[in-house]
């Protein structure tokens, strides 16, 4: 993923006429922190925080708890964040953090200890005007609440603006949970409005997690003519040409069961999902889902990158050759960081906005961002992904 992100920045930078030195400046990270967390039971975990750029505002980016977290993954995600916040037009920079751990193997007490020790290790480098972390894969409002509490104990800060993605009772923002999925719906709608695909569409969704489920739920409510025909989680999933109810799938998943156990539809695996003959393939699982080996099987006209880095560089080149429109992650999933920013604004002002107000602000930011990326893609004859990176670069160097 780091290679992919850096190659995309180089490509877009060269097309804008930047020198290699200027591109190196865009790629390099401002600061990298890593330390070991030791829990009371003696177990040890590697922890990371990478601060890529604060040129446009405090570093901003999630914290991931996952066994595969390593320096390069965190560097890549931190880099993508700087470009995402720039494309989104919010005054924030880019950072990312993580711990190489399987949180499902920890007790609740150990998870709290890990979360608090993560903050202890970073206390001098984070804060409301320095670096404002948020949840990512396997971290949630409960974990962030522990982290905020720890930060308050260590620093005395009472603004709650040190982290976003907090629980609502702890000064979190309404609308944050659904923001990334909702944002994906807004971006796809705006691109469809400009494309030759008109009328009802079919789509397949990889990854029924936070992002994927809210994408499907919001789409079902606001665009009943977008037909969900297939969905998967890590176990595989189901296909039904007649259409699936997002609400029914979500209720089912909330009972703790796997999508492959759903009662209607035909069982499919993730390779089959990628190769379905649909208008839109929405990727909301993890990175590198589409690469040079499986890209040839994609029949969708549009790939919507809801996850971070779900398409490798070679996969992306092949999608272009196959004339598939690839809507890039730094635009398609920017809804989460936009509402994180709105949470930070509310905390700083001591305000609590209604969900309607948050959603209207989100809509405004994403409509603007999509229009600007689209216009650059027309003006510079670039695919949307390179146009998004080019738009971000212009904002990061000015």
Taking residues 55 to 84 in sequence order and writing x for each that binds ligand NAD by CB under 6 A, - otherwise, the string is ------------------------------
Nearest-CB residue for ligand NAD: 209
Residue 175 or 336: which CB sits closer to ligand NAD?
336
The side-by-side arrangement of strands in the sheet containing 59-65 is 31-38, 44-53, 94-99, 59-65, 131-135
Work out how close the CB of 177 gets to ligand NAD at its nearest, in angstroms, rounded to a whole number. Answer: 8
Helix ranges (DSSP H) in 350-382? 355-379
Enter the DSSP assignment of 392: H
What is the CB neighbour count within 10 angstroms for residue 170? 14
The whole-angstrom separation of Cα 197 and Cα 279 is 8
Q: Does 54 bind ligand NAD (CB under 6 A)?
A: no
- Smallest gap from Cβ 383 to ligand NAD, in A, equals 21
Alpha helices in 195-223 (DSSP H): 210-222
Q: Tokens for 165, please give them.
A: 């993605």
Catalytic residues: 96
Q: Could you say which of 11, 233, 343, 386 contacts ligand NAD (CB under 6 A)?
A: 233
Q: Applying CB under 6 A, which of residues 142, 170, 234, 294 lies at the interface with ligand NAD?
A: 234
To the nearest 10°, the Cα dihedral for 298, 304, 308, 310?
Answer: 0
71 versus 397: smaller Cβ distance to ligand NAD:
71
13 or 335: whose CB is closer to ligand NAD?
335
In the bound state with ligand NAD, the residue whose beta carbon lies nearer, of 23 and 131, is 131
CB 234 → ligand NAD: shortest distance, Å? 4
For residues 282, 192, 361, 374, the Cα torsion angle rounded to the nearest 10 degrees is 100
Site string for ligand NAD, 130-159 (x = CB under 6 A): ------xx----------------------
- The least CB distance from residue 341 to ligand NAD, in Å, is 13
Binding-site string for ligand NAD from residue 327 to residue 366, where x marks contact by CB under 6 A and - marks none? ------x--x------------------------------
Instruction: Encode 59-104 in three state secondary structure.
Output: EEEEEEECCCCCHHHHHHHHHHHHHHHHHHCCCCCEEEEEECCCHH
Each residue 198-217 as x (binds ligand NAD by CB under 6 A) or -, in order, gives --------xxxxxxx-----
Smallest gap from Cβ 262 to ligand NAD, in A, equals 13
- Side-chain half-sphere CA neighbours of 345 within 13 A: 15
Task: Compute the Cα dihedral for 271, 272, 273, 274 and give only its sign.
Answer: positive
Name which of residues 266 to 325 contact ligand NAD (CB under 6 A). Answer: 270, 284-286, 306-308
CA 137 vs CA 43, 78, 96, 206: distances in Å = 21, 14, 12, 15
**Closer by beta carbon to ligand NAD, 18 or else 63:** 63
Number of residues that bind ligand NAD (CB under 6 A): 22
- Angstrom CA distances, 26 to 209, 312, 397, stand at 32, 20, 8
Nearer of residues 207 and 328 to ligand NAD, judged by Cβ: 207
Report the alpha-carbon distance of residue 222 to residue 114 in Å, rounded. Answer: 40
Contact footprint for ligand NAD (CB under 6 A)? 136-137, 180, 206-212, 232-234, 270, 284-286, 306-308, 333, 336
């Amino acid at each position: 993923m780091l290679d992919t992100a850096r190659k995309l920045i180089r490509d877009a930078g060269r097309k804008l006429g930047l020198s290699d030195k200027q591109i190196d400046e865009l790629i390099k990270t401002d600061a990298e922190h890593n330390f070991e967390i030791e829990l009371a039971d003696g177990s040890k975990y590697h922890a990371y925080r990478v601060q890529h750029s604060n040129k446009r505002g405090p570093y901003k980016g999630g914290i991931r708890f996952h066994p595969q977290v390593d320096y390069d993954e965190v560097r890549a995600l931190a880099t993508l964040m700087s470009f995402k916040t720039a494309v989104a037009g919010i005054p924030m920079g880019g950072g990312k953090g993580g711990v190489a751990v399987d949180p499902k193997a920890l007790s609740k007490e150990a998870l709290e200890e890990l979360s608090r020790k993560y903050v202890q290790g970073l206390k001098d480098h984070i804060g409301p005007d320095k670096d404002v972390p948020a949840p990512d894969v396997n971290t949630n409002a409960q974990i962030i609440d522990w982290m905020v509490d720890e930060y308050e104990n260590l620093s005395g800060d009472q603004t709650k603006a040190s982290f976003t993605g907090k629980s609502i009772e702890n000064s979190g923002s309404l609308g944050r949970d659904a923001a990334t999925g909702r944002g994906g719906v807004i971006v796809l709608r705006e691109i469809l409005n400009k494309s030759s695909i008109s009328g009802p569409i079919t789509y397949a969704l990889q990854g029924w997690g936070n992002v994927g489920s809210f994408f499907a739920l919001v789409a079902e409510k606001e665009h009943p003519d977008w037909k969900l025909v297939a969905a998967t989680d890590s176990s595989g999933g189901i296909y039904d040409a007649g259409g699936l109810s997002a609400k029914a799938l979500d209720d089912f998943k909330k009972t703790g069961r796997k999508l492959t156990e759903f009662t209607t539809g035909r069982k499919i695996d993730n390779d089959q999902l990628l190769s379905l003959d649909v208008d839109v393939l929405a990727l909301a699982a993890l990175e590198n889902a589409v690469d040079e080996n499986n890209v040839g099987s994609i029949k969708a006209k549009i790939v919507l990158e809801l996850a971070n880095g779900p398409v490798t560089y070679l996969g992306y080149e092949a999608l272009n050759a196959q004339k598939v429109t690839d809507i890039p992650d730094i635009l398609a999933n920017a809804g989460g960081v936009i509402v994180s920013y709105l949470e930070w604004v509310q905390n700083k002002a001591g305000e609590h906005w209604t969900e309607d107000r948050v959603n209207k602000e989100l809509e405004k930011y994403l409509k603007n961002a999509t229009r600007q990326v689209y216009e650059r893609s027309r003006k510079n004859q670039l695919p949307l992904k390179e146009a998004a990176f080019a738009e971000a670069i212009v904002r990061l160097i000015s």
